[in-house]
Structure 1
């Protein structure tokens, strides 16, 4: 409901491009980066769409 009024904290990592930087880190490390923002994290569910 708050998102309808401009609240965007629930989408913060997506807004700041965390996914892009995760992809870069994975490419640079050959897929062995432990710094991914969401993959396998306990917060992944709260940032999921839907």
Structure 2
């Protein structure tokens, strides 16, 4: 029920449901992968349940 209310509130400008994109999770995942040579086990987005909800930022 809580998630349904949050998703419904998006029409009114509520953005907390997009928190990973807003805080730049994908950027920090990329940095972690670059530093670890692609072997990072602590990235947030890869194979996460939220992965399908996020798109790369527009150029």
* TM-score interval (norm. to shorter): 0.7 to 0.9
* RMSD (Å) for aligned C-alpha atoms: 1.4
Aligned residue in 2 for 1:13: 20
Normalising by structure 2, we get a TM-score of 0.68
| Consecutive aligned runs of 4 or more in structure 1 exceeding 3 Å deviation | none
Unpaired stretches in structure 1, ≥5 consecutive residues: none
2:39 corresponds to: 32
> C-alpha separation between the residues in 1 aligned to 2:47 and 2:38?
14
Unpaired runs of 5+ residues, structure 2, are 1-7, 55-59
Paired residue total: 47
- Radius of gyration: which is bigger? 2
Task: Name the counterpart of 2:9.
Answer: 2
